[in-house]
A and B are shown apart, each in its own frame.
Chain A
Amino acid sequence: MTQGDSAMRTNHPSVDDENEELDSALLEVRGLLDTILSRHRDLRSSRGSITPVRCEGEALAERVARLCATARRHVEVILAPASLPGQPSTDALHDALARYEGPALVRVLTAETAETADRGGPRPPGTWRTAPLPPMRLLLVDRATALVRVDSPLGRNAAQVNDATLVGTLLSLFEGLWRRSAPLVLPEWDGRGDARLTRAVLRALSEGVTDETAARELGMSVRTYRRHVAEIMGRLGARSRFQAGALAAGLGPLGS
């Protein structure tokens, strides 16, 4: 259109100016319409990215079960229920994991320590690690879809997330927490009265006092103290005191 104008320009300048004015005005409108169309499409595509899910009733549990069953390559889970440890976890996520039989690599990060986990029977498949986590639940399937749930004073909220950016960020944050986590210690850890002594020895170790000082404070011989340390290292699966410390880092507050 603009090419043809140049021929007219030489002959009738006043008429051409008006045409050009119209032309540029129309082009402006056209540009605006393009922007509007693109924003509208953005909004429409965004709508599928997150689907809120009701927490009451079976809707959430069904989604969890269904999504988990479809996993083929990767499953990442965070289990940090808001309930107190010691209560039986009738958790849809826990159940879905227990039933999972697919080929995916399963990683579970739990807020529970060995003292409270495994109370519901044998641990579901996958690699389980523990870290002190604020309450939340997360299920990431094949790094493409996520189910999230959070309980807050304002209520319980859950949603299914399909957006690549959001799922990518959830995975990133998961990886960071996973790296700081510790292996879930085996159930044989807990014995009558042992737990308290174990904690005391761990605390002494973390304070960096000499074996002699620790033994004195715990009211035992140095030999006995060292035997307890060796026992703890065995249970943690540590080959060195350094490694024991590294593993103990994931066991949660040593004072509790």
Chain B
Amino acid sequence: MERTLLEATALIDTAVTACRRRPTARSAVRHLDGSQLRATARRLIDEADHFVVVTTSGRPDLTTLLAGGLRSLEAARARGVPARVLLAPRVVRASRARLLALAADGCEIRVDAGEPREILLVDGVLALIVPARDADGQRPALVRDPAMVGVTCQLLKGTWNAARPLRDFHGAVARLRAEPAQDVLRCLHDGLTDEAAARRMSVSLRTYRRKVAQIMEELGITSRFQAGLRAAELGVLPAGDS
């Protein structure tokens, strides 16, 4: 027994020496357990000096992560660190009051109903990327590689530029995405005359015109060209346009 234990100790010592001899490289990518996520995200935001960008689509099992993240963001704002938050509409609905408070505190918040994504960018040099869905072989990754972090920054910037500020976002987008509005948008898009559109939708001409007027009001514009422009910007165009 003693000999076995002594051999084991020697082996461990060898391993320690080998480990210390390795160059102190911080790896370009480090995979994380789900269990390490919350602490890592919190630490990253707490250590941020220059800039924090967060985007989430509200993946269900990350809701506690989000709550913790909001707390860290509030603390970061108190330290004076600029922060940008890009959210899916679903997340806005769930945390509206807190987000409004954060926005009032100078945090820029925008809404974008894009593809699912869960990303935390810190100081332009670190990215914490969580798989958006439960996909096989995908684990959360902490990235330091400048090219990957850089491209992620740029892609998010492009998405951010097209997103709507929180204060603009209201139920309008949700309503515009619902089927009834989409039917009208499709008719407008296809260039049907009002009469043909009313026929297609099996409503009276008057009803159709009223629906169009409602949509124009939701979009906050006065002409149909503007309506198309705005609809494109809001991302509520019916799918399948060429």
Residues of A that sit less than 8 Å from B by CB: 42-43, 45-47, 49-50, 52-53, 78, 80, 131-136, 138, 148-150, 152, 154, 157-159, 161, 163-166, 168-170, 172-177, 179-180, 182-183, 205-209, 237-250
Tell me which of B75-83, B92-100, B154-162 binds A: B154-162
Q: CB distance A243 to B148 under 8 Å?
A: no
Q: A169-B132, A173-B152 are in contact. Are A245 and B225 (CB under 8 A)?
A: yes
Q: CB distance A133 to B148 under 8 Å?
A: no
Q: CB distance A136 to B155 under 8 Å?
A: yes
**A159, A172, A240, A250: which contacts B232 (Cβ < 8 A)?**
A250
Measured in the bound complex, the distance between the Cα atoms of B153 and A254 in whole Å is 25
Closest to A162 in B: B29
Give the distance to chain B from A129, nearest Cβ to Cβ, in Å.
11
- 17 further A-B contacts with Cβ under 8 Å, apart from A177-B158, A240-B191, A247-B232, are A50-B148, A52-B146, A135-B154, A150-B147, A157-B146, A164-B131, A172-B116, A173-B115, A173-B117, A173-B155, A175-B114, A177-B155, A205-B223, A239-B190, A242-B228, A245-B227, A247-B228
Q: Which of B112-140 contact A (CB under 8 A)?
A: 112, 114-117, 119, 129-132, 135, 137-140
**A49, A182, A245: which contacts B226 (Cβ < 8 A)?**
A245
Residues of B that sit less than 8 Å from A by CB: 27-31, 112, 114-117, 119, 129-132, 135, 137-141, 143, 145-148, 150-159, 161-162, 185, 188-192, 221-233, 235, 237, 241-242
Closest to B136 in A: A164
Q: 23 A-B pairs, CB-CB below 8 angstroms?
A: A45-B31, A46-B141, A50-B145, A132-B158, A133-B158, A134-B154, A148-B150, A150-B147, A157-B145, A164-B137, A165-B138, A165-B139, A165-B140, A172-B115, A173-B115, A173-B158, A180-B233, A240-B224, A241-B225, A242-B189, A242-B225, A243-B188, A248-B225
